[in-house]
Chains A and B, each alone.
Chain A
């Protein structure tokens, strides 16, 4: 018999190429693992809309079925109590008694049998019922009709649904009005070719068809979808869109961002259109700059009480309309953030200005104290340009602050030319802090004739033309972020 020595395995330190290979393999494994787990990271929930409360509840997956806590579902709608007795779970909702048993599909409600589509579960004394049984189960407890969109997990208790209608503007193809049967508060975002409105707390329902096409080359289509408790309306267009609220938030007006890339130059072909954004800014007069004018306050938010009958919101709106005219005749595209007595949150105002990529943002205020006008820039520390592409929401104004101060100084100079008492200052004032373009706030105070002068068209006209002239004088700076 011959014995041969079995060579022992040789373990050597992996070369650097192998190390890199292992690292790549390991990283790929974790990335794939995370990607495969990503869908489960999104928490499923059900949205409940009723006249007394609108709320969301987490949805649990058990043995291939989706479940929700019955006590938690009924709690906001009436008086409810539960009691766990071993495998039995008793529930009382107002005067309705129900008895469930863990692991059983048979329940008794109001003394009658009821069959669930999947076994009832008890977890930590919480009674869980399958989502697919809610349409039949809830009418046993509630005395109002129940409508459950099971695939989207949206539950409507009673007549709470908000209908939406589309109203294209025949005279203006760049505008589309969405009329809702009740006030809405969607989250609005834009992406190339689309404006998206997500309704998380509004019981908005389908407009009849999931997709509506418009006979319009700019705003082409609107589509409705709902998923995971939310409803979504998307408006497709061939140009960038912006949205504004009116009619006490019952109407959303979608319009094309009015920033025209170039206007016919006086010099015509002798002055060819610039190709780069920088050249565009530098040329100034060869393009239209979008000015966003924000009449502060509005709707139920009245602002300062200037007199017993005169509210700040009314003065700012009239002043804004005058300023719009003054800027338009000087070649600016102008967007008013409200053109009626409507309210918007400060965040919505800032978001509208940022989404529109305006060249300048002007917020208008009025006061009964002092005289003349005050021009404010944001009270923020000046931030260097090395902070990267992203800025904190509360300091979004920081990079544009140097240009904002130039605009402020120009307004002061123009007002002083007109012998209008004026002073520049800084204020911690939203949404000034949140807009990413040069931004100022102008607070109009009474002249020599007292508060009544605030509504005087001539007085407002002097201030508006001074602001407009000042904006013209710094036009070349607008849009150029430092």
Chain B
């Protein structure tokens, strides 16, 4: 005959082991979800491959309140659309450097660019780009001007640009710059040169 106190002790330990198992399983799932979320926030595009080309990037400078043309050597793929996407990703990498004169959020990315003939381009930004962008007329407008001018300078034939966020029209980038408009490349260039 097994003593009663021994039975109670074993049963209590058994309940404890099962409870701990459930808790550990729960914590493991949460950790996995966190990892997926963190991974989702980072750019996932593979590095571009292809011959290196010299391009002109229009880089914003918050202190000066202007864009500065900067030459860069970057590998560009063959397709026109892929070239446009890599071009803007190269621009983003400059803004995501720690010493950037126009810092953009680390998780900001270009989801895709659609080139719609004749002359129209649609830039689709990810949510982090807009959600974590600094709010202010100057900062937001410089970002828009930088994207539009860089695209127009390196992808021939683009005269109009629309900007979407996560595939949808968004009223403003971060409270100021109007994203419901179609940006006319010539008008943006004139404004940037003021």
Closest to B183 in A: A428
Contact B177 A429 (CB under 8 A): yes
> Of A303, A427, A433, which contacts B175 at CB under 8 A?
A303
Which residue from B135, B137, B186, B190 sits with its C-beta under 8 Å from A427?
B137
Chain A residues with a Cβ closer than 8 Å to the other chain, count: 29
The answer to whether B181 and A312 have CB atoms under 8 Å apart is no
**Which segment, of A152-160, A326-334, A372-380, faces chain B?**
A372-380
Binds A, one of B36-44, B45-53, B89-97, B138-146: B138-146
A374 to B194, CA, bound (A): 12
User: B137 to A303, Cβ gap below 8 A?
Assistant: no
With A369-B139, A427-B176, A433-B178 known as contacts, the answer to whether A304 contacts B134 (CB < 8 A) is yes
What's the minimum C-beta distance from A20 to chain B, rounded to whole angstroms? 45
Find residues 427-482 in chain A having any chain B CB closer than 8 Å to their own CB: 427-430, 433, 441, 443
B166 at the interface (CB under 8 A from A): no
A424–B172 CA distance with the chains assembled, in angstroms: 21
Tell me whether B18 is interfacial, beta carbon within 8 Å.
no
Given contacts A380-B187, A394-B180, contact A305 B135 (CB under 8 A): yes
The answer to whether B187 touches A381, judged by C-beta atoms less than 8 angstroms apart, is yes
- A304-B136, A425-B141, A443-B136 known; A365-B191 Cβ under 8 A: no
Give residues 291-346 of A contacting B (CB, 8 Å).
Answer: 297, 301, 303-305, 312, 346
Residues of chain A lying within 8 A (CB to CB) of residue B131: none
Partner of A429, one of B63, B137, B186, B187: B137
Closest residue of chain A to B144 (Cβ to Cβ) is A428
Within 8 Å of chain A (Cβ to Cβ): is B184? Answer: yes
Known: A370-B63, A428-B183, A433-B181. 8 other contacts (CB 8 A): A303-B175, A365-B136, A365-B137, A368-B136, A379-B191, A425-B138, A433-B178, A443-B138
Across the interface, do A301 and B175 meet the contact criterion of CB distance under 8 Å?
yes
Q: Does A179 contact B (CB under 8 A)?
A: no
CB of A259 closer than 8 Å to a CB of B: no
- Contact in complex: A369, B138 (CB < 8 Å): yes
A-B CB pair tally, cutoff 8 Å: 79
Kindly identify, within residues 133 to 177 of chain B, every residue whose CB is under 8 Å from any CB belonging to chain A.
134-139, 141, 144, 171-172, 174-177
B interface residues, how many (CB within 8 angstroms): 28
Check B176–A429 contact: CB distance below 8 A: yes
Contact assessment for A370 and B65 in the assembled complex, using a CB-CB cutoff below 8 Å:
yes
Q: Which residues of A contact B175 (CB under 8 A)?
A: 297, 301, 303-304
- The verdict on A206 contacting chain B, using a C-beta distance below 8 Å, is no
A428 to B138, CA, bound (A): 10
Interface residues of A in 37-73 (CB under 8 A from B): none
Closest-by-CB residue of A relative to B177 is A428
- Is B188 part of the binding interface, using a Cβ–Cβ cutoff of 8 Å? yes
Q: Are A428 and B135 in contact (CB under 8 A)?
A: no
Chain A hits for B171, CB < 8 A? 346, 430
- Name the B residues within 8 Å of A374 (CB-CB): 65, 137-138
Given A428-B144, A429-B178, A433-B181, CB of A303 within 8 Å of CB of B191: no
User: Could you tell me the distance between the alpha carbons of A101 and B180 in the complex, rounded to whole angstroms?
Assistant: 50
Given A346-B171, A425-B191, A430-B172, A369-B62 contact (CB < 8 Å):
yes
For the complex, what is the distance from the CA of A346 to the CA of B172, rounded to whole Å? Answer: 11
Among B62, B65, B183, the most chain A Cβ lie within 10 Å of the Cβ of B65
A367 at the interface (CB under 8 A from B): yes
Find out whether the CB atom of A428 lies under 8 angstroms from the CB atom of B136.
no
* Contact of A379 with B188 at beta-carbon distance under 8 Å, contacts A305-B135, A367-B138, A428-B177 already known: yes
In whole angstroms, how far apart are the Cα atoms of A346 and B180 in the complex?
Answer: 12
Q: Which 4 interchain pairs have the tightest Cβ spacing?
A: A304-B135, A426-B191, A367-B136, A428-B178
Task: Given A346-B171, A429-B178, decide whether A303 and B184 contact each other with a Cβ distance below 8 A.
Answer: no
Given contacts A370-B62, A427-B176, A428-B177, contact A381 B184 (CB under 8 A): yes
What distance in Å separates the Cβ of B182 from its nearest Cβ neighbour in chain A? 9
A365:B176 contact, CB within 8 angstroms = yes
How far, in angstroms, from A427 to B135 measured CA to CA in the complex? 14
